[in-house]
Amino acid sequence: MVDDDLLLLEVLSEEVVAGIDRFDRVQLAEVVRSCRRHRSLSAAGRELFAASRAKRATTNDADRLRKYLARFGLDYEGVAASR
């Protein structure tokens, strides 16, 4: 198991992690790290979407991040609290 998988096992079950493609596990692990570094969903979203937010007419990074986490049954509060 690599570090990304160990990190994901802190917030998801072993069965769920096993069912996520390696490509998505790497990305999700970085999102978890960002959520743990920042005190708010908005701050984590600004970091994660910094390049693409400059190209958008409207930016709602917190909503984008909330929806991304929800795809895996996660929320910011749960991820950040599991530090």
For 54, phi then psi, to 5°, come to -70, -20
Rounded distance, CA 5 to CA 26, Å? 8
| DSSP output for 1-62 | --HHHHHHHTTS-HHHHHTS-HHHHHHHHHHHHHHHHSSSHHHHHHHHTHHHHTT-SS--HH
The pLDDT, as a whole number, for residue 14 is 96
pTM of the model: 0.89
Q: What is the pLDDT of residue 83?
A: 66
Task: Parse the chain into domains and list their residue ranges.
Answer: 3-81
Q: What is the pLDDT of residues 1-56, one digit of tens each?
A: 469 999 999 999 999 999 999 999 999 999 999 999 999 999 999 999 988 877 77
pLDDT in tens, 65-83: 999 999 999 999 999 987 6
User: Alpha carbon 34 to chain centroid distance?
Assistant: 7
Question: Tell me, what's the pLDDT at 2?
Answer: 65
Q: How far is CA 54 from the centre of its chain?
A: 20
